[in-house]
Structure 1
Amino acid sequence: MKQFTISKNDSGQRLNKFLEKAVPLLPGGMMHKYIRIKRIKVNGKRTDFAYRLQQGDILQLYINDEFFGKPKKHSEEESYLHAKPNIDVIYEDQHILLVNKPAGLVVHADDSGTSDTLIARIQAYLYQYGRWDPNKEASFTPSLCNRIDRGTSGIVIAAKTAEALRVMNQKIRDRELHKSYLCVACGHVRPRDGRIKNYILRHESEHRVSVHDHPVAGARTAITQYRVLKETPELSLVECDLITGRTHQLRAQFSHMGHPLLGDSKYGKNDMNRKYHRKSQALCSYKLRFDFTTDAGSLGYLNHKVFTAPRVEFVSLFED
C-alpha cells in the first residue's frame, strides 16, 4: 500500500489528474477500475475519479509496487538538472515569477531538440536557490502560464504554485491580463493610431498563418489596437495592444498591411533585415497589466499592478 498526504500544491485538482502525474505507470483504465473497486481510497473511503483533492487528504493506493517505479523521463522533464539559472527576473513572490525572455530562446523544447529552454532555466533557478524541491512534490512542477515565439522577447509568467497556475490560466483565458507589445515596422504606418481587424488562418504544416480581410473557413478574428510612437526615415516604432491573441498575430497583420516587422524572416523583407543586421523580429512583449474582474483568490494582491520589461534593445534604433 502506498499513501500520499495531499499538500497545498496538490490540492484543488481532480483525483484522476493527480494520479496521472503521481503514478504515471498506472494505465488510465486500470486507475478507474481501482477507484471503482475501492483499491484507491481518499481518507479511508470510496471516492470518485472527479473528486477534488483537499489539502490534508490521505490518499491510499492498494496497488502493485510495479506501478510506483519511475518511468524514463522525457528530456525536458529533467533538463533543469543540467540548465544554468540564467534568467532576467522582473518580479517574484511566493506564487509567480515574471521573466524577461531574450529573443532566440525557446520557451519549451521544440523540433530542434534543444534542452536550453526558458522553462528549464526557470526550474533550475528555483531548484538551485531552494525555491522548489521536486522531491517534495507529488505532481506539481513550476510551469509557464503563457508563451511567446522564439524570436520574440519580453515578459513570460511562470507559476511557482499549483494555485497560481490555475488562477493565471483562468485569468488569461478570460482576458483579465493585458499585454502590450513594442515592435519595429518597416516604413511609415498610417494612420499613426488605429485598429486592425481581419481574419487569421493557421497552416500547421507550414508553421505559418495567412491573413484575410473577410471571413474564410477556419480563420479566426484577429484584432489589434496600435499607435506609432516614433519614426525614422525607414522605420516606425509601434506600441500594440492585443485584443485577441492569435498565432503570429502582430507579425502577420503588419506584413499584410505592407509594413512587416524588422527582422522577421517568415513574414518580413530580407533586404531590410540584412541592412539592419536583424536575425529575429523586432518584437517585445514589454508591458503586463493585471485587470482582474473576477475573484483571484490568494493572487488578488496582483490586481491593477503593471510590470514592464527593463530593456527593449531595438528602441535604440530611434534614439538620437
Structure 2
Amino acid sequence: MRVLKVSAQEEGQRLDRMLDKYMQLAPRSFFYKMLRKKNIKLNGKKADGSEKVTAGDEITLYLADETVESFRKQTPQKAQRTKNTGRKSMNIPVIYEDQDILVLNKPVGVLSQKADRDDYSLVEWLEDYLGKDAAQTFRPGICNRLDRNTSGLVVAGKSIHGLQWMNRLFRERNLKKYYLCLVHGAVKGEKKLHGFLKKDPKKNIVTVLKSPENGTVEIETRYQPLQVVFWEGESYTLLKIHLITGKSHQIRAHLASIGYPAVGDVKYGRKGKAEQKFRLRSQLLHARQLELPEEEYLPSLYWNKIFIADLPRKFAQVLEDMGVDISDI
C-alpha cells in the first residue's frame, strides 16, 4: 500500500491526471480498473478519476510496491538535473515570487528550455531553485520563452494553478508584452507591422513574407521610437516594441525585414561600428515589461499588475556611451 498526499502545488488537477503523472508507464485503463475495484481511493472513498484534487487530499494505492515502481520511471529531465547540480548557482534575478508563480529576469546566454540533452536551462534552474518539496507529480515550468541571446522577463508556474493561469494569458494573448531594442537606422513614427513568418527548422532561421504560404504563421508587431541618436557617423534608434503575437525570432526578423535590424544581431543584422566598438555578439533586445489584465479566472492580486526587468549591464552601457538618456526608460 502507498499513500500520496496532494501538495499545494498539485491541487486543481484531475485525479486520473495526477495518477498518470505518478505512474507514467501505466495505461489509463489500468487506473480506471483499479478505481472501479476500489484498489485506488481518494480520501478513503471510491472515486472515478474525474475528481479535482485539493491540497491535503490523500490518494491510497492498494497495490504492491513492485507494481507501483514498475509503472514509474525517472524522466530524462530528472536524470539530467542530477548531472547538472553543480550549475544550480547560475544567477537568475527573481523579479516577483508568490506561492503560485515566479517572474524572472533571464540573462543573455541562458536557454529558456533545453536544446540538447546536456543543456542546463531555466527549467532545470527552476527545479533547483525551488528544491524538493511535497509535490510528487507536479513539475514547475515556464510559460513563455525568449531566444537564448534575448534577455528579460520570463514567467514560471510554481503550482498547477499558476501554470494554468499564466499559460492561458500567454495563449490567449490577454497580457501586454513590451520590449526595448536598439536598431540600426533612424526610425520615424510609430508603426504596426503585419506579416507572415516562415521558419526553416534546419537552419533555425525565419523569413517574414507579405502574403501567407503553406507553413507560415501570421504575426503582428508594433513599435514606437523612443530616441534617435547619431553616433560615430551612423544613426541608431531605441525602440519600444509591443509584441502582439510572439513567435520565434519575430521581433528580430520583422525589424530586419523593414531595414532596421537589431544592433548585435548576428543572424538577421549586420556588423557595423557599434558591433565592433562594443564587441557585441548578441542582439540588444530585452523583454522589459509585462502588464496583466483583469480576468475573472485570475486572482485579484494579479489584476493590472506590471512587472519590469532591469536592462542588462551591457545593454545599458552601450546606450549610455551612445548618449541615449535611459533615466526615463
TM-score range, shorter chain: 0.7 to 0.9
Displacement of 1:203 in angstroms is 2.4
Is the 8 Å Cα contact of residues 165 and 297 (structure 2) preserved in structure 1? no
Moved more, 21-30 or 177-186: 21-30
Q: Which runs of 5+ in 1 are unaligned?
A: 128-132
Indicate the residue corresponding to 2:326 in structure 1: none
Q: Quick one: structure 1 residues 78 and 158, their matched pair in 2 at CA, closer, same or farther if it must change by over 3 Å?
A: farther
Shift of 1:288: 1.2
- The answer for the alignment partner of 1:226 in structure 2 is 223
After superposition, where does 1:235-274 map in structure 2 within 5 Å? 235-271=236-272, 273-274=275-276
In structure 2, the residue matched to 1:279 is 281
CA contact (8 A) 2:255 2:261 kept: yes
CA RMSD in angstroms, aligned pairs only: 2.4
Describe the SS at the equivalent of 1:205.
coil
**Does 2:127 match 1:123?**
yes
Tell me what 2:8 maps to: 8
Does the 8 A contact of 1:87 with 1:122 survive in 2? no
CA distance in structure 2 between the aligned counterparts of 1:100 and 1:314, rounded to whole angstroms:
14
Counterparts of 1:1-320 in structure 2, within 5 Å, are 1-69=1-69, 71-74=73-76, 75-78=79-82, 81-82=85-86, 83-84=88-89, 86-111=91-116, 113-115=118-120, 117-127=121-131, 133-134=132-133, 136-189=134-187, 191-232=188-229, 233-271=234-272, 273-274=275-276, 276-297=278-299, 300-312=300-312, 313-319=314-320, 320=323
CA distance in 1, matches of 2:17, 2:271: 47
Q: Secondary structure at the match of 1:99?
A: strand
Give the superposition deviation at 1:220. Answer: 1.6
One-letter identity of the residue aligned with 2:259? G
Deviates more, 1:34-43 or 1:16-25: 34-43
| Residues 186-216 of structure 1 deviation map (CA, whole Å, 9 limit, x = unaligned) | 2223x43111011112222332221111122
Aligned counterparts of 1:9 and 1:318: Cα–Cα separation in 2:
42
Letter in 2 for 1:105: V
Query: Which ranges in structure 2 are unaligned for 5 or more consecutive residues?
Result: 324-329
Deviation at 1:98, TM superposition (A): 1.6
Q: TM-score, normalized by length of structure 1?
A: 0.87
Cα distance in structure 1, aligned partners of 2:40 and 2:319: 63
Question: Any runs of at least 4 consecutive aligned residues in structure 1 with deviations exceeding 4 A, and if so which?
Answer: none
What's the TM-score, normalizing by structure 2? 0.84
CA contact (8 A) 1:171 1:292 kept: no
Residues 1:258 and 1:10: Cα distance change in structure 2 (over 3 Å) = same
- String of CA shifts for 1:20-45, please: whole Å, max 9, x gaps: 32223434453444345543333444
Instruction: Judge conservation of contact 1:193–1:227 (CA < 8 Å) in 2.
Output: yes
**Closer, same or farther: CA 101–67 of 1 in aligned 2, 3 Å:** farther
Q: What's the CA shift for 1:85? A: 5.2
Cα deviation code 1:37-88 (max 9, x no counterpart): 5433334444334432233433222333224436344244446743115221
SS in 2 for 1:179: strand
Matched to 2:282, the amino acid is S
**d(CA) in 1 for partners of 2:319, 2:5:** 57
Separation in 1, partners of 2:237, 2:166: 33
Q: C-alpha displacement at 1:241, in angstroms?
A: 0.3
Task: Report the Cα distance in structure 1 between the residues aligned to 2:260 and 2:215, rounded to whole angstroms.
Answer: 25
**Structure 1, 174-183 or 273-282: larger mean CA deviation:** 273-282
Q: Is the 8 A contact 2:123 2:142 kept in 1?
A: yes
